[in-house]
Amino acid sequence: MKIGELARASGLTAKTIRYYELEGLLPRPPRTASGYRTYASGDLQRLGFVAKAKRIGLTLRQIKEVLLLNDRNEPTCGHVRTLLDEKLAEIDKAISDLTAIRAQVATIRGRAGELEDCRPSGGMICSIIEAP
């Protein structure tokens, strides 16, 4: 299939497919005599893998690592488990950080009450935020 057909089948743009080729996520395809790229069903399957891996938060670099292992016929699941453990730790940290920020915002909002304008109470711009 040509790049337009692969784009439609994968839900990606031709530009994205060319970028993935440039980054080594998709092997460079053979070309016809007139210069058109030609793709096989394996390329569509590979793009599906890339899309799923991106949806769960893996970076293109991480995805490329997994694909390189696969291309060398090396086991991939151990590496993927490590990547997923790292992703879970990142998510847990983000949740913790967001929970702390939410608590801080809720405290400030509670302190703000129903003030229409807090400048008379001493803030230069807004004492709700400027208060210690």
The SS3 call for residue 71 is helix
Q: What is the pLDDT of residue 56?
A: 96
CATH of residue 35: 1.10.1660.10
Residue 120 lies in a domain: no
The answer on 40 and 60 residing in a single domain is: yes
Q: What is the pLDDT of residue 119?
A: 66
Residue count of the chain: 132
Residue 118 lies in a domain: no
Half-sphere exposure of 110 (CA within 13 A, CB side): 6
Determine the Cα–Cα distance for residues 62 and 68; give it in Å rounded to an integer.
10
- Residue-wise pLDDT for 9-28, tens only, equals 999 999 999 999 999 999 99
Residue 119 lies in a domain: no
Residue 8 lies in a domain: yes
Q: Is the pLDDT of residue 127 over 90?
A: no
- Residue-wise pLDDT for 25-83, tens only, equals 999 999 999 999 999 999 999 999 999 999 999 999 999 999 999 999 999 999 999 99
Q: What is the pLDDT of residue 86?
A: 97
The answer on 13 and 60 residing in a single domain is: yes
Residue-range definition of the domain harbouring residue 26: 1-74
